[in-house]
Chain A
Amino acid sequence: MTTITTTAASPRRRAASFLHRHAGVRLSLLLSAPLAWLGLAYLGALAALLVTAFWSTDVFTGDVVKVFTWANFTDLVTGEVYRTVALRSIGVAAAVTLIDLVVAFPMAFAMAKLASPRAQRWLVIAVLTPLWASYLVKAYAWRVMLSSDGVLGWGYGLTATVVTLSYLWLPYMILPIYAGLERLPNSLLDAAGDLGARGWRTFRTVVWPLTFPAAVAGSIFTFSLSLGDYITVKIVGGKTQLIGNVVYDNIGAANNLPFAAAVATVPVVIMLVYLAAVRRTGALENL
């Protein structure tokens, strides 16, 4: 073991005792770097992006014109294409969430209530494993499966996008629901059975109301991850366009950063509305 020398006040020792006596200094030092990075730099970057959304691009030179204008947002609201794309993106996100919920719930239920503790451990690993496999690899796997001479051979398009996104985010739905069902005491299910409720009735009146916040927590992931995606759409979506593609194309091909910034606020606003709407359910504590 180390012996601690208490001789002359070395600078190190003085610094240590200074820190020991001043909690405020300790706290400021601890917060300095993380807050400078995330609080100032990252939030600053987001704020700068928001400001950019109110600028415009010179049609001839392609330079950003730093003059306040509502033009981007007017285009966004009045342009029929953008409304269609926004609604399609919300539709895709909602469909993915619904599919994942329907697939994940029975799986999570079987894991939490039917499997032995030993099997449970392995099942959780089995569900977690695909999360470590690369996102691109999984989207690619579906590209291979769906290609016209692949295993399924359905071809690419909107349906392919919904299927692939549902596949990608399924574990994010299973895990919170599984955790929610684990917390649900078995005695409640027994009590419902003793009082004469059959399977469906028990589910509707006992299981679902108590696991609803967990399901909503899962839906935050599936909804938000689908809403911002543009890579999967490019891989299996054929010519389908979602909000993410509009943002991407306006930065790359169209070189119109202000408009891209304005479009990018759409998923952010939708997510904020969604989070505000589900806040009451207590879902945020289940994340």
Chain B
Amino acid sequence: MNFSRTSRTLLRAALVAGLAVVYVPLAVVLLNSFNSDRTFSWPPAGFTLRWWGAAWDSAGLRDALWTSVQAGLGATAIALVLGTMAAFAVQRYRFFGRETVSLVIVLPIALPGIVTGIALSNTFHTVLGLPLGLLTVIVGHATFCVVTVYNNVLARLRRMGLNLEEASADLGADTFTTFRLVTFPMMRSALLAGGLLAFALSFDEIIVTTFTAGAGVRTLPIWIFENLFRPNQAPVVNVVAAALILLSVIPIYLAQRLSGGDPQTH
């Protein structure tokens, strides 16, 4: 294509500047986790590993992390089952209200989190009389996690077609055997990708969590938010933030592996 030299340079500069703006704040957090000054005055006063040690020893932090992992695993498990079932129904059958099913599945993330949050807490609290706790957090998270599994499985089923399953049936395998030996192995990477996204969504969620967690339940985002405004906790919060930035490399790596290892996408 024939772009003028100026427009090429300008566009490239915009891209580089944009990416710099995206990464500079994250880099500042990483640097500050080693800043020996408590209030993060800039430039950093000196290098220290003290805050990483303090974060490692914080019992409240460890509890919050464990709660988040439990909530994430629970919500992901439910989302995997419900999302897969819904995707099969929508992709393999034609029925009245099919489009509405997709809409209902997307709704929990399309609406502002605070709406989902108070709707669920209202239902648990006043309608059902359930005590708020880890279980209600899992229910809340699963509600908006279904869509990630649903989308991934739906896309996979669309590409898979029916040929292999029909061949399996012709060779005498019954419905369950075909699912176990043919359908499931072909869907596995889609389930992994959807499950990964669901876990990440749940792990990061704070708004729905605020309204569905009881007084004693503290997920990692809630812990961070509670300690964000306490000046003496600032260094530890900053270490947690830095650690989460470093940890976010793992799902990116896995997601790349999943899409790279899947011959059908290329």
Contact = CB atoms under 8 A, between A and B. Distances in A.
Interface of A: 2, 4, 6, 12-13, 15-17, 19-20, 23, 26-27, 30-35, 37-39, 41-46, 48-49, 52, 64, 103-104, 106-107, 109-111, 113-114, 123, 125-130, 132-138, 140-145, 147, 149-151, 153, 167, 170-171, 186, 189-190, 193, 198-199, 224, 227-231, 235, 244, 247-248, 251, 257, 260-261, 264, 267-268, 271
A130 B108 CA distance: 23
A190 B2 contact: yes
Contact of A48 (B122, B143, B177, B211): B122
9 contacts: A42-B107, A46-B111, A137-B244, A141-B241, A144-B25, A144-B32, A167-B25, A198-B4, A199-B4
Nearest to A18: B175
A129 B252 contact: yes
A34 B204 contact: no
Interface of B: 1-4, 7-8, 10-12, 14-15, 18-19, 21-26, 28-29, 32, 39-42, 81-83, 85-86, 88-89, 93, 95, 101, 104-105, 107-108, 110-116, 118-120, 122-123, 126-127, 142-143, 146, 169, 171-177, 181, 200, 203-204, 206-207, 211, 221, 224-225, 228, 237-238, 241, 244-245, 248-249, 251-252, 256
A13 B174 contact: yes
A260 B155 CA distance: 38
Given A34-B82, A189-B1, 9 more contacts: A30-B86, A30-B89, A46-B119, A136-B221, A137-B244, A140-B238, A190-B2, A224-B112, A260-B118
B204 A141 contact: no
A128 B256 CA distance: 11
Contacts of A149: 39-42
Contact of B176 (A12, A43, A49, A64): A12
A159 to B, nearest CB: 16
A2 B143 CA distance: 38
A45 B123 CA distance: 6
A104 B17 CA distance: 11
Contacts, number: 258
Nearest to B105: A38
Given A149-B42, A224-B110, A271-B111, A33 B244 contact: no
A132 B86 contact: no
A55 to B, nearest CB: 10
A235 B42 CA distance: 20
A43 B111 CA distance: 12
Given A48-B123, A107-B15, A144-B40, A133 B244 contact: yes
B89 A132 contact: no
Contacts of A144: 25, 28-29, 32, 40, 238
A31 B122 contact: no
Nearest to A228: B112
Contacts of A17: 174-175
A150 B28 CA distance: 10
B40 A150 contact: yes
A20 B172 CA distance: 12
Contacts of A257: 118, 122, 126
Best-surrounded residue of B15, B108, B244 (most CB of chain A within 10 A): B15
B19 A126 contact: yes
A184 to B, nearest CB: 11
B29 A39 contact: no
Nearest to A52: B122
